Homo-oligomer: A and B are copies of this chain.
Amino acid sequence: MSGAETQVQADLQRLLPLLDAELVRPFQGGEALRLAEAVRYSLEAGGKRVRPVLCLLAAEAVGGSAAQALPGALALEYVHTYSLIHDDLPAMDDDDLRRGRPTNHKVFGEGHAILAGDALLTEAFGVLAASDLDPIRRAEALTLLAEGAGWRGMAGGQALDLEGEQIKTYDLDHLRLIHRLKTGALLRCSLEIGAVLGGASGAERQALRAYGEAIGLAFQIQDDILDATATDAALGKRTGKDAGRGKITYPSLLGLEGARTALAEATETALCQLAILPNRNSLAAWARYLAQRAK
Q: Chain A: residues with CB nearer than 8 A to chain B?
A: 27, 30-32, 34-36, 39, 82, 86, 89, 91-92, 109-115, 117-119, 121-123, 125-126, 128-130, 135-136, 138-139, 142-143, 145-147, 149-152, 155-160, 162-163, 177, 181
Contacts of A111 in B (CB 8 A): 89, 91-92, 159, 162
Q: Is the CB of B146 within 8 A of A130?
A: yes
For the complex, give the distance between the alpha carbons of A115 and B122 in Å: 14
A-B contact pairs, 16 of them (CB 8 A): A32-B152, A34-B159, A39-B151, A86-B118, A111-B159, A112-B159, A115-B151, A115-B162, A119-B155, A121-B122, A122-B155, A125-B129, A126-B150, A130-B143, A135-B135, A142-B142
Contacts of A118 in B (CB 8 A): 82, 86, 117-118, 121, 155
Kindly identify which residue among B31, B110, B115 contacts A158, using a CB–CB cutoff of 8 Å. Answer: B115
Q: Is the CB of A142 within 8 A of B129?
A: yes
Contacts of A92 in B (CB 8 A): 111, 114
| Known contacts A89-B114, A92-B114, A119-B156, A32 near B130 by CB under 8 Å | no
Contacts of A139 in B (CB 8 A): 129-130, 135, 138-139
| Known contacts A27-B151, A126-B147, A146-B122, A156 near B91 by CB under 8 Å | no
Residue of A118, A135, A156, A162 with highest tally of chain B CB at under 10 A: A118
Q: Is the CB of B121 within 8 A of A156?
A: no
Contacts of A27 in B (CB 8 A): 151
- Please give the distance in Å from A177's CB to the nearest CB on chain B: 6
Shortest Cβ distance from A138 into B: residue: B139
Shortest Cβ distance from A121 into B: residue: B121
Kindly identify which residue among B86, B113, B114, B142 contacts A125, using a CB–CB cutoff of 8 Å. Answer: B142
Sample of 12 more A-B contacts, CB < 8 Å, known A35-B151, A92-B111, A135-B138: A31-B177, A31-B181, A32-B152, A32-B181, A86-B114, A89-B114, A111-B159, A123-B146, A125-B129, A130-B139, A130-B143, A138-B139
Kindly identify which residue among B91, B135, B155 contacts A32, using a CB–CB cutoff of 8 Å. Answer: B155
For the complex, give the distance between the alpha carbons of A105 and B254 in Å: 35
Contacts of A162 in B (CB 8 A): 111-112, 115
Residue of A31, A155, A162 with highest tally of chain B CB at under 10 A: A155
